[in-house]
Structure 1
Amino acid sequence: MAPPSWPPCLLLLLLCLAGGGILQPGAQPDSKGFISIDCGYPGETSYVDDTNGLSYSPDAGFTDAGTNRNISGEYVRPLLSRRAHNLRSFPDGRRNCYTLRSLVSGLKYLIRANFVYGNYDGLNRPPASFDLHIGVNFWTTVNLSSWSDPVGSLAWVEAVVVVPDEFVQVCLVNTGGGTPFISGLDLRALKRKLYPQATVEQGLVAIGRFNAAPTNKSYIARYPDDPHDRIWYPWYDATIWAELSTTHTVTNADYGLFEAPPVVMQTAITPRNGSRSIVFYWDAEPTPNDPSPGYIIVMHFAELQLDAVRNFYVNLNGKPWYSDAYTPDYLRSNAVYDIVPNRQRHYNLTIDAATNSTLPPILNAVELFSVIPTTIVGTDSQDASAAMEIKAKYQVHKNWMGDPCLPKTMAWDRLTCSHAIASRPRITSLNMSSSGLTGNISTSFADLKALQYLDLSNNNLTGSIPDALSELPSLTVIDFSGNQLHGSIPPGLLKRIQDGTLDLRHGNNSELCTGSNSCQLSAKRKNKVAIYVAVPILVILVIVSAAILVFFLLRRRNQQQGSMNNMTTVKPQNEEVMSTSYGGGDIDSLRIVENRRFTYKELEMITNGFKRVLGQGGFGRVYDGFLEDGTQVAVKLRSHASNQGVKEFLAEAQILTRIHHKNLVSMIGYCKDGKYMALVYEYMAEGTLREHIAGNDRNGACLPWKQRLRIALESAQGLEYLHKGCNPPLIHRDVKATNILLNARLEAKIADFGLSRAFDHDTDPVYTNAVFGTPGYMDPEYQATMHPTTKSDVYSFGVVLLELVTGNTAILSDPEPTNIIHWSQQRLARGNIEGVVDVRMHNGYDVNGVWKVAEIALKCTSQGSAQRPTMSDVVAQLQECIKLEEGRAHGFDAGVSNNTAFEMEHGVPTVATGPAAR
């Protein structure tokens, strides 16, 4: 949010921004967790900036592309920071990247890039625009044309993201708008609690961070006043706001979620002339990349007047944004903030004094962010690191910049990747033939564990062949021909050659001993080699055989004991409990090893007094919450009026302690505190599949067919695990679209295991004295026999598939109640696929693929369970459907991230239509 106007002296001062950490090229973060890079700096060592005592490192250790350039002398002004005097330009290649290493996987980082064009190329024509990516996810578009002085001004862009690997790459992408360049790049490690809205699925892009009414109107707060080196700009307007300040220290009371620095919280604005409201407004800025941008607002409050009676409400577009009247604590900083992004066209935010307040409202600081999806995960971390090591060793240039496999349109030349649906890309083929390689064969090739084909032929490689290559399980072809290798073929590779699992090509290596040239081994040496190979293999076979025998004996014993002790089958109410291994209904005896036990008071704290309801079911309400480390969770609290009792609670708790699969919702902890019972789950940001099919998600958008297919496959994989991967197997018994939840990546997970039952085909068939489930999804054979099987889940899943195809509910109500199965059968029997498919998808699908899914669904919903497929069969058939859809969309790279373009003019946010204050 920007004020209506900015003093000229402030605009001038913003040119002197600087920061850094004492580094050498390629070094790891310093003791503060900082990496600061002076892009294009020609020196070899760091230098200290006088303004804050921090230092900048040359960028040569972070990128091997681009050209160092200096800005024109006329733009080297007294207040311009030293870092802005030079830059790195990237005239060649579509994507050029900086690689920042030695990070902590899963930690949050603030990443900031700085730009000063300064007519460095003498053309006096800055690039119109270029894109920035963090890893393989789109970050923002740098649009220089929006700057008031696009030639001489300094601007920065900033994001807060969770880094999935031990390195992160910041990439400049040439989109045809001119040559990309960069002046500076900063990385700041953040505490895990900070900015809970930044998750593995979502990053925050700073629109503005404002310090209300600082006493020094030209003061820009950053390191060391802010230990995280965030930049807080002065924000004031004497015509509409009065100012408050204190010299006392303001402590932080926001549980470490934002940690606004004390110097920022010591001042505040309040309405002037008796007004009892502070008002801001701004308009959303849709872009082609993000037609419906989402915004996160964080407002910081601390009372600065002793014995003040100040209460106020915060409203957004006329509706309560914070439900209760807010009373700021004296000299204690706290925040009111969004949990999920707002997506509206216009924003009118008011802070209004409550009727019982004797003083008008105040505001100490504001942060405004747009959100970007970070759901695309790059190449397998080990593969990517190995590829970068190989690139560095052999000084490969080509287009080897950024992630090796993604985006597909920018994948590295002469490298092939596999792109499985539910896993990260893997490097499967590497062709470096005739590439001028010198030196020995890098051991990093052995880290490419999915490699199938390796061609290093016709280079100048020397040294011996590393035996570690024999450990690559998928490798089928290696071509070393036309090099200068020496020594013998290692035993591991010899064995692979002899058993026919490897084709090793090694011609034209005159000093390589292979047994068929002048270096042929003597018969005696051959025998020794045979002994050296055979004896260890024989010993290994004996050891493995003994281990297998012991394993099976122990497993059989454990299974026998497990049928009595390890697996408890809990029947829902009105059914007999078959085991008492949890102490006759006491959750304390559950073997919850990895899960945390919460008290009811702790649940109150993490849910902020059970304030925000995510949903409601037969068990009770589900509330939104945040753990101490900022992890967002869902808290399912049993209602005292619930029909579902202790048995269902114990059944779900026990099941969730022993099942672990990427497509099943995970339990984080539980509460059994007197009369209070609750389960704490991982947070599923996008709610239920039913909401998305109906178009009731936050964007109101229709799920595309490709996304529906992926959700269907992931749900099927979760059920397949229950049926095949659990011992004993489990029947879910309540599969439906509202029990399939989606995370922020729209990845599907099966939820709600309160009715689940364990069974054994041979010894423990499941019989019940009551039927449980949801109308429209229930297996008619189960209803008739009271004997649920895995095929009961298959039937219910078939109904979900029909919902995905048609967009309808399980039971249609117009013109009269009709089962979706009968409704679909009638139309498909006439060959009328168009009359069945959800019209909102606008033909965006492969017709054959839709037909196939509809047929799978009808097979799943056959009246007799014997005619239904298993979940394993369903998974295999859905994978074929996805191949059909990918074939239709061949060449289209789906899943491109969206973002709102963001530029800074003199470091000041420029939002074309606001925000404004009044």
Structure 2
Amino acid sequence: MAPSWPLLLLLLLCLAGGGILQPRAQPDSKGFISIDCGYPGETSYMDDTTMLSYSPDIGFIDSGTNHNISGEYVRPLLSRRAHNLRSFPDGARNCYTLTSLVSGLKYLIRASFVYGNYDGLNRPPVLFDLYIGVNFWMAVNMSSWSDPAGGVVTAEAIVMVLDDFVQVCLVNTGAGTPFISGLDLRPLKTTLYPQVTAAQGLVMLARLNAAPTNKTYIARYPDDPHDRIWFPWYDAVNWAEMSTTQTVQNIENDLFEAPSAVMQTAITPQNASKNIEFYWDAEPKPNDPSPGYIAIMYFSELQLLNGNDVRQFYVNLNGNPWYPTGFTPQYLSNGATYNSYPSHHSRYNISINATSNSTLPPIINAVEVFSVVPTTNIGTDSQDATAVMAIKAKYQVQKNWMGDPCLPKNMAWDMMNCSYATPNPSRITSINMSSSGLTGDISSSFAKLKALLYLDLSNNNLTGSIPDALSQLPSVTVIDLSGNKLNGSIPPGLLKRIQDGSLDLRHGNNPDLCTGSNSCLLATKRKNKVAIYVAVPILVILVIVSAAILVFFLLRRRNQQQGSMNTMTAVKPQNEEAMSTTSYGGGDGDSLRIVENRRFTYKELEMITNGFQRVLGQGGFGRVYDGFLEDGTQVAVKLRSHASNQGTKEFLAEAQILTRIHHKNLVSMIGYCKDGEYMALVYEYMAHGTLREHIAGSDRNGACLPWRQRLQIALESAQGLEYLHKGCNPPLIHRDVKATNILLNAKLEARIADFGLSRAFNHDTDPVSTNTLVGTPGYVDPEYQMTMQPTTKSDVYSFGVVLLELVTGKPAILSNPEPTNIIHWARQRLARGNIEGVADARMNSGYDVNSVWKVAEIALKCTAQASAQRPTMADVVAQLQECVELENGRAVYTGGGSSSVDDPNWSHGAYTSGQSSNVSDNTAFEMEHRVPTVVTGPAVR
């Protein structure tokens, strides 16, 4: 057997490269951003190999110094942008900012480093850290390479970006000056690399092209449209090679899209009776001693087989099946096996061996190996971060204002303090820019820091007037503007805050600032005397004309209202009191239509409920009673309690809504009662009560809902909410989505209920403003709490909490060991890739791991802090339908069982262009195949 050699060393062959960037930090038409770090020019240049344009980094960063590498390291195979670099001798953190991105998209981010003895010290830095935003990416360890001075070190990650920008930061750890030679960003389809989520990213360890015909060929753009870099992988002693010049096609909905140029070659054992074997070792990291890994193995048949020939093989990891059945690669069509979730071994021995039915040896065309990094750290509130970035740009702040303003805490920006209220984003609470040499006017961006308590801009050279917008800072208690050159007068909003004692405004030593003295007022009067003489006659004329127009319209409106009242009286049912013309919900201004459903008297309700004998449940409106109509139809009677804080307005709102919404996943109203002080609504009977009861296992049988039933309930509930948001006219925001407001009928079909707090809105004017915050603790959208403006995304947030309840079996607020929001609890565990530690243990693993994970991912997206980052209910419905299909596919393929491998932390998937007959073609399916994984460059054995 040939001695093993780490394939990770092949990365030393990396050529620094990139994509196009227009001047001043704009992506090109493909969305590519490519930066030549330290390039002294001011315009882009074209690379002869990739025909992509590289841009200088001046538009992306405002710190660091440019250097050229030593001439002895300028070699023929070294790309042009590796000839120079940018180093960062100053500051603990220095960051590149890449803008104009698409929020929620996946991006490949790649950095390259060539030391080249640029500083003449012949001493490469031992170690420095890379961060993507506030999440750790990797430690760059130059000393671990065989040629640390002249070799190219490459770091690559695939992450989901949740903003319209991303920052890549180099952090000095005290083991040498950080530097960088090149930085690339490439957009990826959201369907690619499903292992990448909002909670985790992938860091490349190896991406290998088996047996390219040209052994120096490194596949990348344009051969790979995504500009992934595939390194050659071959071993003439142990492996034979095969190739084709014909195109290898990607299958429909391909999850990885390996390029044809890579799939056109493959390796097979020199001895046809042998196996293909290679391995990799786990690489503990300082912040993660037992990292998890993802591997993707690619297969395509390159030979047109004779009628009796069969190529089928098993893939094994550490002696256990990686995939439960034999794998048959399809002719000139992409196929792959992969693990969806990481697990942990110290070594990974891969063996690919022919099945007993196979007449041909196994093959492999390519492999990718990644470690997994959590991306759950949430940066500073986006509005706060944007505001201070604008302040930094306006005043050209040169301190440590790089990267995220508040995080990590040990790198927070100078001159400011932040609040850290997990799981909410950090907020900026104070800024002290006293004696900082500020010039110009006071930036309007200060007024966007809504959590600000203290602002000190004293002893600078600020000019202009004090912006009244500062009075809109809800929490600020001290503003110090003393010692500047401000003029004008103190705005009325700030004066009011001073008078009511909520603000201490310090404004001394501003000679031209009027503070309300007689001299200021007299000077102002003299300056405006002529203007007053001209303006007064004009104002008098305008007042007279306006008054005449107002009288005309008031008279006209009164006549129209009288006509409307007459019309309403004409259509009023005999012997029936009109319920009200109050606008329900206060959102759309439409008058309440007369309810057309059956009207009950209070005595009739007493008879229907047998004296209100059996209570089905209780809410903020009152109790719900069991009842039967004359024809035997079972109903639920919701009777308003006199002690309820929900009154006529909420009752009328719900009655009105229920008369005009009709959907199979919304509860139906049979009638109502408005009999003096008594108010009630009569609903269809929901035999299985609330979803919360079933999640808690407190239904009458004490049974646990199976996962498939939970999925179906989630989908039906989402369909009901989607109808409210898009299907009815006017559309509605529910505002109290929770597990107790989702009811289940005798068939366990879901119905959304309780519309007393719902608000109508217009698609053109969403959001709507409210004076009071409503909802249930644990379910309320934090953005709604802050702005008092509910939107459809507020319902999406609440529904995300319901999804987490379905996945975990836990309530929205956990009580042990201390009160914790279920979102925070789940995010922490999902960040570690531990879906089994999140899924409800009572389901006894009776589920497809991938569908559970996908629902958890949907829930995390729904509960994103910023509403703009949440999906719509239409998106949620589409994704839940996919989850239902995954679960149904598991039942068909596995008969509801799981594979024989015992490790509970591993699941795999595979796809080819020709699946077995009971699984639809071209569909990626996941198997509960349990084995752990980790990576360091695979080695041949």
Output the TM-score relative to the length of structure 1.
0.63
| Distance in 1, Cα, partners of 2:265 & 2:804 | 38
Q: Which amino acid aligns with 1:590?
A: N
Q: Which amino acid aligns with 1:744?
A: A
Are positions 1:589 and 2:676 aligned together?
A: no
Deviation at 1:96? 1.1
Q: SS at the partner of 1:495?
A: helix
Deviations 1:396-420 (A, max 9, x none): 1222111110111111111011111
| Distance in 2, Cα, partners of 1:624 & 1:324 | 30
Are positions 1:282 and 2:283 aligned together?
A: no
Match of 2:831 among 732, 735, 744: 744
Give the structure 1 partner of residue 614 of structure 2.
none
Give the structure 2 partner of residue 447 of structure 1.
448
1:116, 1:154 within 8 Å by CA — same for their partners in 2?
yes
Deviations 1:136-187 (A, max 9, x none): 1111000010110111111110000111211111111111111111111111
Change (3 A) 1:147 1:484: same
Give the structure 1 partner of residue 359 of structure 2.
358
Deviation at 1:210? 0.7
Give the structure 1 partner of residue 819 of structure 2.
713
| Distance in 1, Cα, partners of 2:239 & 2:839 | 52
Q: Which amino acid aligns with 1:367?
A: E
Q: Which amino acid aligns with 2:147?
A: D
Deviation at 1:646? 5.8
Give the structure 1 partner of residue 338 of structure 2.
337
Match of 1:578 among 636, 641, 645: 636
Match of 2:198 among 197, 200, 212: 200
Match of 2:188 among 173, 190, 209: 190
Change (3 A) 1:6 1:426: closer
| Distance in 1, Cα, partners of 2:369 & 2:709 | 25
Are positions 1:386 and 2:485 aligned together?
A: no
Q: Kindly report which structure 2 residues correspond to 1:382-421, keeping only aligned pairs within 5 A, or say none.
A: 382-421=383-422
Q: Give aligned pairs, total.
A: 656
Q: SS at the partner of 2:746?
A: helix
Give the structure 2 partner of residue 795 of structure 1.
none
2:314, 2:325 within 8 Å by CA — same for their partners in 1?
yes
Deviations 1:508-550 (A, max 9, x none): 1111222127423579799999x99xx9xxx9xxxxxxxx985
Deviation at 1:476? 2.1
Name the Cα RMSD after superposition: 4.9
| Distance in 2, Cα, partners of 1:355 & 1:564 | 75
Give the structure 1 partner of residue 735 of structure 2.
none
Give the structure 1 partner of residue 19 of structure 2.
20
Deviation at 1:359? 1.7
Deviation at 1:211? 0.8
Give the structure 2 partner of residue 915 of structure 1.
938
| Distance in 2, Cα, partners of 1:8 & 1:554 | 62
Change (3 A) 1:236 1:901: closer
Mean alpha-carbon deviation: is it higher for 745-754 or for 444-453? 745-754
| Distance in 2, Cα, partners of 1:117 & 1:111 | 20
Give the structure 2 partner of residue 123 of structure 1.
121
| Distance in 1, Cα, partners of 2:776 & 2:360 | 54
Deviation at 1:297? 0.5
Output the TM-score relative to the length of structure 2.
0.62
Deviation at 1:60? 1.4
1:254, 1:335 within 8 Å by CA — same for their partners in 2?
no
Give the structure 2 partner of residue 499 of structure 1.
500
1:10, 1:217 within 8 Å by CA — same for their partners in 2?
no
Q: Kindly report which structure 2 residues correspond to 1:292-331, keeping only aligned pairs within 5 A, or say none.
A: 292-307=290-305, 309-331=310-332
Give the structure 2 partner of residue 519 of structure 1.
520
Q: Which amino acid aligns with 1:379?
A: T
Deviation at 1:303? 1.6
Q: Which amino acid aligns with 1:327?
A: T
Q: SS at the partner of 2:103?
A: coil
Gaps of 5+ in 2: 544-549, 551-580, 601-618, 627-632, 639-654, 668-701, 712-742, 759-773, 782-798, 844-932
1:570, 1:650 within 8 Å by CA — same for their partners in 2?
no
Q: Which amino acid aligns with 2:503?
A: L
1:84, 1:183 within 8 Å by CA — same for their partners in 2?
yes
Change (3 A) 1:290 1:516: same
| Distance in 1, Cα, partners of 2:412 & 2:67 | 28
Are positions 1:620 and 2:698 aligned together?
A: no
Q: SS at the partner of 1:421?
A: coil
| Distance in 1, Cα, partners of 2:501 & 2:367 | 67
Deviation at 1:749? 9.2
Deviations 1:855-897 (A, max 9, x none): xxxxxxxxxxxxxxxxxxxxxxxxxxxxxxxxxxxxxxxxxxx
Give the structure 2 partner of residue 36 of structure 1.
34
Q: Which amino acid aligns with 2:201?
A: G
| Distance in 1, Cα, partners of 2:432 & 2:439 | 15
Deviation at 1:334? 2.3
2:440, 2:464 within 8 Å by CA — same for their partners in 1?
yes
| Distance in 2, Cα, partners of 1:365 & 1:386 | 46
Identity fraction in percent: 61
| Distance in 2, Cα, partners of 1:354 & 1:379 | 54
Deviations 1:577-618 (A, max 9, x none): 6289999xx9961149xxxxxxxxxxxxxxxxxxxxxxx984
Deviations 1:531-578 (A, max 9, x none): 99xx9xxx9xxxxxxxx985677899799999999999899xxx9662
Q: SS at the partner of 1:325?
A: coil
| Distance in 1, Cα, partners of 2:135 & 2:328 | 40
2:489, 2:514 within 8 Å by CA — same for their partners in 1?
yes
Give the structure 2 partner of residue 647 of structure 1.
746
Q: Which amino acid aligns with 2:175?
A: G
Q: SS at the partner of 1:328?
A: coil
1:254, 1:333 within 8 Å by CA — same for their partners in 2?
no
| Distance in 2, Cα, partners of 1:387 & 1:564 | 59
Deviations 1:225-253 (A, max 9, x none): 11111000111112222222111111111
| Distance in 1, Cα, partners of 2:596 & 2:475 | 38
Are positions 1:132 and 2:130 aligned together?
A: yes
Deviation at 1:742? 5.5
Deviations 1:416-461 (A, max 9, x none): 1111122100111111011111111111112212112111110001
Q: Which amino acid aligns with 1:24?
A: P
Q: SS at the partner of 2:508?
A: coil
1:3, 1:236 within 8 Å by CA — same for their partners in 2?
no
2:313, 2:353 within 8 Å by CA — same for their partners in 1?
yes
Q: Which amino acid aligns with 1:649?
A: L
Match of 1:169 among 167, 170, 173: 167
Deviations 1:773-806 (A, max 9, x none): xxxxxxxxxxxxxxxxxxxxxxxxxxxxxxxxxx
Q: Kindly report which structure 2 residues correspond to 1:809-848, keeping only aligned pairs within 5 A, or say none.
A: none
Give the structure 2 partner of residue 481 of structure 1.
482
Change (3 A) 1:563 1:435: farther
Change (3 A) 1:79 1:559: farther
2:186, 2:227 within 8 Å by CA — same for their partners in 1?
yes
Change (3 A) 1:361 1:752: closer
2:5, 2:940 within 8 Å by CA — same for their partners in 1?
no
Q: SS at the partner of 1:361?
A: coil
1:685, 1:743 within 8 Å by CA — same for their partners in 2?
no
Are positions 1:267 and 2:265 aligned together?
A: yes
Q: SS at the partner of 2:495?
A: helix
Deviation at 1:624? 13
Change (3 A) 1:8 1:447: closer
Q: SS at the partner of 2:386?
A: helix
Change (3 A) 1:397 1:116: same
Deviations 1:245-265 (A, max 9, x none): 111111111623111111111
Change (3 A) 1:554 1:743: same
| Distance in 1, Cα, partners of 2:512 & 2:73 | 61
